[in-house]
Amino acid sequence: EEEEEKDKEEDEKEKEDEKEYEEDEDAEEEEEEEAEEEKDDTHVESEYESNRLN
């Protein structure tokens, strides 16, 4: 019976760890996407600036 309890606790801990890992990955992906969007924005702005100057 004690062993069953231990197994249960370990399973729950593994699930929590997995969930946290997935959340971290999601956060990383979001940051990368935001960085890409910012890069695009600055590219568009600089293009606009150079067109305006010509």
Q: Domain limits at 49?
A: 1-54
Total number of domains constituting the chain = 1
Q: What is the pTM of this model?
A: 0.46
For 12, 23, 45, the CA distances from 1, given in Å and listed in that order, are: 17, 33, 66
Tell me the pLDDT of the chain (54 aa) as tens digits. Answer: 899 999 999 999 999 999 998 999 998 999 999 988 888 888 778 888 888 887
Rounded to a whole number of angstroms, the distance between the first and last alpha carbons of the chain is 80
HEC profile of 2-47:
HHHHHHHHHHHHHHHHHHHHHHHHHHHHHHHHHHHHHHHHHHHHHH
Measured at the alpha carbon of residue 34, what is the angle toward residues 32 and 38, in degrees to the nearest 5? 115
